[in-house]
Amino acid sequence: MTLILADRTRVYPHGIMEDVLVRVNDTIFPADFVIMYIEEDEEAPILLGRPFLTTGKALNDMEIGEIKFRVDGKEVTFNL
């Protein structure tokens, strides 16, 4: 697998971690991560892509700037 970043550099993954438990407020989701060695940038957020949003049954309302996660009858809302 080769990943092409926004600045068009190529990065090769060091490994893949599967079924890692990720906690969002009081809800826990399983997620897979691709491990890469890249320069650290404390200003850059960690992006949990579309598969994670699907797992959390996320609802995005960009007009009001809100994202909701729904799992096991629980709902968590974040303001964007």
Q: 53 with 47: CB under 8 angstroms?
A: no
- Residue 21 CB contacts under 8 Å (≥ 6 apart), including other chains: 28, 29, 30, 31
Q: What is the pLDDT along the chain (80 residues), one digit of tens a residue?
A: 888 878 888 888 888 888 888 777 777 777 788 888 777 777 776 666 666 677 667 788 888 888 888 877 878 888 87
Integer Cα distance of 5 and 9 in angstroms: 5
Domain positions in the chain: 3-36+47-79
Contacts by residues 37-41 (CB-CB < 8 Å, ≥ 24 positions apart): 37/11, 38/5, 38/11
pLDDT at 48: 64
